[in-house]
Amino acid sequence: MTIIASLLRSAQLPESPTARLDAELLLAAALGKSRSFLHTWPERIVSSEAARTFADYLQRRQNGEPVAYILGQQGFWKLDLEVAAHTLIPRPDTELLVETALALVPAEPTRVLDLGTGTGAIALALASERPAWQVTAVDRVAEAVQLAERNRQRLRLNNAKVELSHWFSALAGNTYGLIVSNPPYIAAADPHLAEGDVRFEPASALVSGADGLDDLRAIIAAAPEHLDAGGWLLLEHGYDQAAAVGECLLARGFDAVQSRKDLGGHERISLGRWPC
């Protein structure tokens, strides 16, 4: 008979600061329990079926597959989201985009657009915090649209909707007081694409041209046609791209251009306001 504490001690995962957390998340999922259950009942006997499931999860993690894909879910903001291999895994750094948007725009009726929504993480976090906002989330990948819509329905966020669109392609004539996006921003030759979790994530959600700026440039170029006077554009980008993105915003005619730092001290998002 195997007990919880023994399974955790014997778990073999690659050297990582999160190895223990990964093992606990995988075992809790195999048991259908919370992580706190593992610490409260470390001597509880584990069924052979749950032990086999845990072993399978461990093998997948040892092969490098992200925990979020193994479990099919990931926490973001205050939400639990379904995730899948055709979408980017929501990351804590992206919560800075949500925090900044909430601080910038009043909690009054506003049309909001999230470009390249993936799981719907940004759009649904904003909709959950601002019931008066009408949030539109778009993605060019049909499977991502379906996934984001499932998340929206499960969270019962009726002030959000999800549509199929490659950036602004299906949004002619629509304007917004706030546009947000976490677009692809990694350079095609970046060696990090062959490392860690990103090996399993879709390249279309990560890579954007030789310098990683192609999609950011495209969004900045087209955004003014879809922004209300005084509306804001908020963009996540790479840790070393703030200067380039800021220059693009200024060149396109945005004012109040600035950047914000993530928890690691990197300039992670840039923003600009379309003049009144």
- From 63, 95, 113, the end of a domain falls on 63
CATH number at 45 reads 1.10.8
DSSP string, 124-161: HHHHHH-TTEEEEEEES-HHHHHHHHHHHHHHT-TTEE
Tell me the pLDDT of the chain (276 aa) as tens digits.
Answer: 478 788 888 777 776 678 888 888 998 999 888 888 888 878 888 888 888 898 899 899 988 889 999 999 999 999 999 999 889 999 999 999 999 999 999 999 999 999 999 999 999 999 999 999 999 999 999 999 999 999 999 999 999 999 999 999 999 999 999 999 999 888 787 777 767 777 777 777 777 788 889 999 999 999 999 999 999 999 999 999 999 999 999 999 999 999 999 988 999 999 999 998
Q: Both tokens of residue 223?
A: 């955004």
Tell me, yes or no, whether 55 and 84 share the same domain: no
Whether 72 is in a domain gets the answer no
Considering the domain architecture, whether residues 53 and 91 belong to the same structural domain is answered as no
- For strand 160-164 and strand 133-139, is the pairing parallel, antiparallel, or unpaired? parallel
Residue 40 inside a domain? The answer is yes
Residues 6+ apart with CB under 8 A from 255: 272, 273, 275
Q: What is the CATH number of the domain that holds 134?
A: 3.40.50.150
Do 201 and 194 meet the contact criterion of CB atoms below 8 Å apart?
A: no
Give the pLDDT score at 54. Answer: 87
Q: Are residues 153 and 205 in the same domain?
A: yes
In terms of domains, do 129 and 16 share one?
no
| pTM of full prediction above 0.85 | yes
Spatial contact of 95 and 74, defined as CB atoms under 8 Å apart: no
Do 143 and 11 belong together in one domain? no
Q: How many domains does the chain have?
A: 2
Contact 216/185 with Cβ under 8 angstroms?
yes
- Do 150 and 84 share a structural domain? yes
Q: Is 168 helix (H, G, I), strand (E, B) or coil?
A: coil
As a three-state string, the secondary structure of 67-100 is: HHHHHCEEEECCEEEECCCCCCCCCHHHHHHHHH
Which residues lie closer than 8 Å to 157 by C-beta, 6 or more apart? Answer: 124, 127, 128, 135
